[in-house]
Amino acid sequence: MKAKVYVTPKKSIADPQGNAIGRALNKIGYDKVEDVRIGKLIEIELGQITKEEAEVQLKEMCEKLLANTVIEQYSFEIE
Amino acid sequence: MNNYDAVGLTRDEYDRIIDYIGREPNELELNMYGVMWSEHCSYKHSRPLFKHFPTSGEKVLQGPGENAGIVDIGDNLAIAMKIESHNHPSAIEPYQGAATGVGGIIRDIFAMGARPIALLNSLRFGEIEKYDRVKYLLEGVVEGIAGYGNCIGIPTVGGEVYFNSSYNGNPLVNAMCVGIIEHDKIHRGNASGVGNSIMYVGAATGRDGIGGASFASVELTEESEEKRSAVQVGDPFMEKLLLEACLELLDTGSIVGIQDLGAAGLTSACCETATRGEGGMEIDVLKIPRREKGMHPVEVMISESQERMLLIVEKGREREVEEIVEKWGLHAVVIGKVTDNDKLVVKEGEKVVADIPAESLDSSGAPKYYSDYQVPEYYKEAKKFKYNDIKEPTGYNEVLLNLLKSPNIASKEWIYRQYDHMVRTNTVVKPGSDAAVLRIRGTKKGIALTTDCNSRYCYLDPREGSKIAVVEAARNIVCSGAKPLAVTDGLNFGNPEKPDRYWQFRESILGISEACRELDTPVISGNVSFYNETDTHAIHPTPIIGMVGVLDDVEKACTMYFKSEGDIILQLGETKAEIGGSEYLSIIHHLETGEIPFINMAMEKRVQEAILEAIQRGLLESAHDLSEGGIAVGLAECSMEKGLGAEITLNTNLRRDLELFSESQSRFLISVKPANLDAVARILEESRVPFRSIGKVMGNKLQIVMNQETVIELPVAEIEELWRGAIKCLIE
Amino acid sequence: MKFGIVVFPGSNCDIDCYHALKDTLGQDVEYIWHDTEEVKEYDCVILPGGFSYGDYLRCGAVAPFSRVMDAVKVHADKGKLLVGICNGFQILTEMGLLPGALVRNKNLKFICDTVALKVENKETPFTNRCTHGQIINIPIAHGEGNYVVDDEELEKMKKNGQILFTYQENPNGSVLDIAGICNENKNVLGMMPHPERACEDLLGNDDGKFILQSIISFLEGGWKSE
């Protein structure tokens, strides 16, 4: 089983990277760009495991390690 | 819960507000008082004691009360400096907490018109051997400091890191910034000149650190981990642009006043500049650039979003300001004007949403508290310790190695290697020696910088321990060849409402004051961080002393390392049976007790003056003060770097462990060329400084013979490998 | 000879390059603002270290889109000297003026230290004052200096003598210990170490002069490629 975990800065948290890239995109001509937020995509290969178990474990992984829940939010997809 | 409770105020404080404004405050007004009268902003428990500090002197151009203190170094140049804590934010989110701490202190320096030229950091963590959380905090804090300082291009040249169980729940992160400025370019945070414009420049305002200021004034509890939206994120690139834009603006003469937005955000910046300018101010919250939609005026006024500045601009020159700011890719907007009354008026469009006397919000209007104090039991108990209570160890090689690999003494290279300490090519003495030395371009001068505090001493005896923190900082400055000039202090303590903690604080202030007066190093700026405690457990009192000194000729800068074989090693000062509070007692005997070493200020001054004279006359090859770990550790520290050993003979009446590891004060190790020995001896004799020749720089082993018996014999390479790798080893 | 140092938003080592060339080596030096269009008058253009545009997406990713960079490219295409130090090296690889890329250091940490470099090819405008195999000590200060390049390109670089400096003790995981390279035409240099930080005895090291003086010798016509 395969999982994709998305970790992004929480909405209320400033994202200096996203802001700087947004300004750079505006500067090189993409003037419709209003906001950019930058996060991480983490691909995880899981062995023999049920979807329910995977969900429980992925949530744990995010809380414990993958996301810094002080400033980041996460979501995941299981394929 | 009463509405005043919700903003952290008491009933009496609420009544005080009603007295000031003649009516009940509205929600915005109450929140503004709440953040401004928090301990963090108002210093309500500490301010009454500040009168003890010596804060003036012929070289002081700006004492406490501004964004930073300024001290003259001659040639029409001056040094701006300040230290500030970011302890609570770093405990919650170490990377961003430390990064924004660095960002904040840099803004304080360029708000004076000075160009920041160096950063230092004083860090305290819990027992790294025991807790993974401590490793996580250390790694995060160091990366945060590196991430911000490296990106903005200001070298991180020094600091200190200590570990102790008292910091298990409360790490300390104190950042110090130093800037250089010409005398006639000093700017202040004054909002004066009726009709002048208030402009806002820098990052947009979001809901960062809402309540952050009052957040830093309550004890950490389990729930704090949940207060997550309060975390501020640093943007060093934005700050670099802001820094360059502001320094360019200040050169145009269009700026009347400048203030950074730090704790309590706009509320604090507006009320402080208005109060200093002895006038009033009117601003419109709708004009504030915002990052998020739907923000309430309260959120806008107390947000602690980073990388923002407030400018008071001469009326009619706003366009000029906008153009310079835009050149740096930023925007400046007019948000209000200076008025002729003493009110701070906040509008939302046409509607007045707050109307209060500016001065009443400021620390001068805030209440002051004289807490009760009480001598704690442990203080008397500790003095009962006798060294006969502990057994003399066998095998001093092993004892020395155990000390050298203990995290407090081990090399901090793993940490400072992550900091760019060379950028801007002024760093003459890099991290690792007693003090960092920077040259001042365009002159022959240099400055020396250090931070110091032995908090175990300060716990066992806050007054004497704090004196020692000051003199140790001065020793480090002197050993680099510089004359100590001024102090910035970062005072980290527990809950001041508890009588024993307040006693520690009061004693510490009295100790710092006495030592600074004696050494003629006034306190020109500083910061207080209280409530560094969890449940019932407080940190050791940690008054961090940041000090600057000046070298008239930077080419004469001295380091602690032995330079060449055959040089003669002298010990200055006397070794006594003083191991109370020592690193030896803590690491080898697991005891944190005893009477701390006695400090004789008159002797201290004589030794420091003698060393300074000898360095300035070019007579010394190396100089190092003896501190944690005593003469044995001191000799090892001098040997490393160049891998030069020493043959040492110590004849003594003391027990061997006391001779080797005593931390008696006012002691130094110097090395001199044989040809200079007489001249050095003459200086020392004239200064009535006790000294003895203890051996020579020789070979690649450290050998110590005591009363005809070899007690230590170790290859320098072995010592160095252990000492250099210890912290890395603990973390990885 | 005239040097130009490009100043991007976020450049930090522009001033260090300026002082090293002007105060220590007595050269004619000017800053070039990123928003200008021409760089005609310069014999050598330097892209300095720092964190251009914050270096937030990838190091050096945004700087190639600065207005001045078209002219810088023309300058290099004409065979004039172009030097990228640290962030400047990263920018040159992003622009494709130098092969390969720079990724995060192997230990994932920023490293500031002084390291020993070996001069691998002295027959270039940037190394002609060195001896072959000479060891020079030069400071490094980077978080993303781990040089990667595909095998085919690497072979080509080896064959053409484009590898100019290698680390004696690899700090960051670079392939073949590579610290600095040049293009095939040998007029564009990229290196992670900072020679401009090592030009004065007062700072404890002046080995950086070997590189900067090589450039000056070349420009003054004191050295010609064989």
pLDDT, one tens digit per residue, over C140-184 is 999 999 999 999 999 999 999 999 999 999 999 999 999 999 999
**Between these two residues, C34 and B536, which has the higher pLDDT value?**
C34
pLDDT for the residue numbered B5: 86
pLDDT for the residue numbered B8: 87
From B194's Cα to the closest Cα of chain C, the distance in A is 35
Collapsed DSSP state (helix, strand, coil) of residue B109 = helix
Report the pLDDT averaged over residues A19-31.
Answer: 89
Cα B186 to Cα B112: distance, rounded to the nearest angstrom: 6
pLDDT for the residue numbered B397: 97
Collapsed DSSP state (helix, strand, coil) of residue B414 = helix
pLDDT for the residue numbered B226: 42
Report the pLDDT averaged over residues B521-533.
Answer: 96
Q: Among residues 58-77 of chain C, which lie with CB inside 8 Å of chain A?
A: 62, 65
Share of chain B above pLDDT 70, in %: 97
Which CATH number do you get for residue A10?
Answer: 3.30.1280.10
Query: Which residues of chain C does B328 touch, with a Cβ-Cβ cutoff of 8 Å?
Result: 9
Task: Dump pLDDT digits (tens) for B576-607.
Answer: 999 999 999 999 999 999 999 999 999 999 99
From C186's Cα to the closest Cα of chain B, the distance in A is 28
Nearest CA in chain C to A38: C57
Query: Which residues of chain B does A20 touch, with a Cβ-Cβ cutoff of 8 Å?
Result: 235, 237-238
Give Cα separations from B39 to B90, B229, B407 (angstroms): 18, 21, 33
Task: Dump pLDDT digits (tens) for B671-722.
Answer: 999 999 999 999 999 999 999 999 999 999 999 999 999 999 999 999 999 9
Across A14-28, B255-269, B388-402, least confident range: A14-28
Across B253-267, B414-428, B671-685, least confident range: B253-267
> Each residue of B698-708: b (16+ CB within 10 Å) or e?
beebbbbbbee
Could you tell me the fold of the domain covering B387-410+558-732? Answer: Phosphoribosyl-aminoimidazole Synthetase; Chain A, domain 2 (3.90.650)
Q: Phi/psi of residue B701, each to 5°?
A: -125, 150
pLDDT for the residue numbered B536: 74
* Residue B296 annotated in active site: no
pLDDT for the residue numbered B212: 46
From A16's Cα to the closest Cα of chain C, the distance in A is 8
Q: Phi/psi of residue A55, each to 5°?
A: -60, -45
For residue B1, name the pLDDT band (cuts at 50, 70, 90).
low
Strand partners, C102: C147
Q: At what angle do helices B716-731 and B630-639 cross, to 10 degrees?
A: 100
pLDDT for the residue numbered B213: 44
With beta carbons less than 8 A apart as the criterion, state whether B200 and B288 touch: yes
Report the pLDDT averaged over residues C27-49.
Answer: 95
pLDDT for the residue numbered B112: 95
pLDDT for the residue numbered A78: 92
- The predicted complex's ipTM stands at 0.96
pLDDT for the residue numbered B10: 92
Residue spans of alpha helices (H) in chain C: 14-19, 69-77, 87-95, 151-160, 209-219
Cα C160 to Cα B313: distance, rounded to the nearest angstrom: 59
Q: Phi/psi of residue B573, each to 5°?
A: 90, 170
Report the pLDDT averaged over residues B63-76.
Answer: 95
Domain with CATH 3.90.650.10 in chain B: 1-36+187-367, 387-410+558-732
Report the pLDDT averaged over residues B471-483.
Answer: 98
pLDDT for the residue numbered B7: 87
Which residues of B contribute to the annotated binding site?
43, 82, 84-88, 107-108, 232, 260, 304-306, 489, 526-527, 529
Collapsed DSSP state (helix, strand, coil) of residue B120 = strand
Cβ atoms within 10 Å, residue C8: 26
Report the pLDDT averaged over residues B55-82.
Answer: 96
* Residue B86 annotated in active site: yes
pLDDT for the residue numbered A12: 77
DSSP C86: T
Cα B624 to Cα B61: distance, rounded to the nearest angstrom: 31
Which of A14, A69, A70 faces B235 most closely, judged by CB atoms? A14
Residue B87 confidence (pLDDT) above 50: yes
Total number of domains constituting chain A: 1
pLDDT for the residue numbered B217: 52
Report the pLDDT averaged over residues B124-143.
Answer: 96
For residue B230, name the pLDDT band (cuts at 50, 70, 90).
low
Cα B425 to Cα C203: distance, rounded to the nearest angstrom: 8
For residue B122, name the pLDDT band (cuts at 50, 70, 90).
very high
From A62's Cα to the closest Cα of chain C, the distance in A is 21
C53 has a chain A CB within 8 A of its CB? yes
**Segments forming the whole domain that contains residue A26:** 2-78
pLDDT for the residue numbered B294: 83
Q: Which two tokens stand for residue B148?
A: 């911000």
What architecture is the C2-219 domain classified under in CATH?
3-Layer(aba) Sandwich (3.40)
- Determine whether B392 is exposed, middle or buried from the number of CB atoms within 10 Å of its CB (0-12, 13-18, 19+): exposed
C204 has a chain A CB within 8 A of its CB? no
| Whether B236 and C15 lie within 8 Å, measured CB to CB | no
With beta carbons less than 8 A apart as the criterion, state whether C195 and C12 touch: no
For residue B229, name the pLDDT band (cuts at 50, 70, 90).
low
pLDDT for the residue numbered B224: 47
Collapsed DSSP state (helix, strand, coil) of residue C166 = strand
Residue C223 confidence (pLDDT) above 70: no
Report the pLDDT averaged over residues C205-210.
Answer: 97
Q: Among residues 5-34 of chain A, which lie with CB inside 8 Å of chain C?
A: 16-17, 20-21, 24, 27-28
Residue A24 confidence (pLDDT) above 90: no
pLDDT for the residue numbered B732: 85
pLDDT for the residue numbered C225: 57
Between the CA atoms of B282, B285, B287 and B288, what dihedral angle is there, to the nearest 10 degrees?
Answer: 110
Q: Which two tokens stand for residue B319?
A: 């366009």
**CATH superfamily, with its number, for domain B1-36+187-367:** PurM-like C-terminal domain (3.90.650.10)
**How high does pLDDT run on average in chain C?**
95
B305 has a chain A CB within 8 A of its CB? yes
Task: Dump pLDDT digits (tens) for A46-72.
Answer: 988 999 999 999 999 998 889 888 888
Task: Dump pLDDT digits (tens) for B183-226.
Answer: 999 998 888 899 999 999 999 998 887 754 444 455 555 444 44
pLDDT for the residue numbered B398: 97
